[in-house]
Amino acid sequence: MKICIGCDHGALELKHSVLEVLSEYKDIQVEDAGTFNKESVDYPDIAEKVCHKIKDGQAERGILMCGTGIGISMAANKVHGIRAALCSDVYSARMSREHNDANVLVMGGRVLGPGPASEIVRAWLDTEFSNGERHKRRIEKMMALENK
Query: Would you give the DSSP letter of residue 80?
Result: T
Task: Tell whether residue 67 is a contact of ligand RB5 (CB under 6 A).
Answer: yes
Task: Tell whether residue 70 is a contact of ligand RB5 (CB under 6 A).
Answer: yes
Residues 6+ apart with CB under 8 A from 72: 7, 8, 43, 44, 46, 47, 64, 65, 66, 106
Chain residue whose CB lies nearest ligand RB5: 71
> For residue 13, which amino acid is it?
E
Q: Which of 4, 17, 43, 86 binds ligand RB5 (CB under 6 A)?
A: 43
Rounded CA separation 145/147 (Å) = 5
- Per CB under 6 A, the segment of 23-31, 67-75, 115-123, 125-133 that binds ligand RB5 is 67-75
Task: Tell whether residue 10 is a contact of ligand RB5 (CB under 6 A).
Answer: yes
Binding site for ligand RB5 (CB under 6 A): 8, 10, 43, 66-68, 70-71
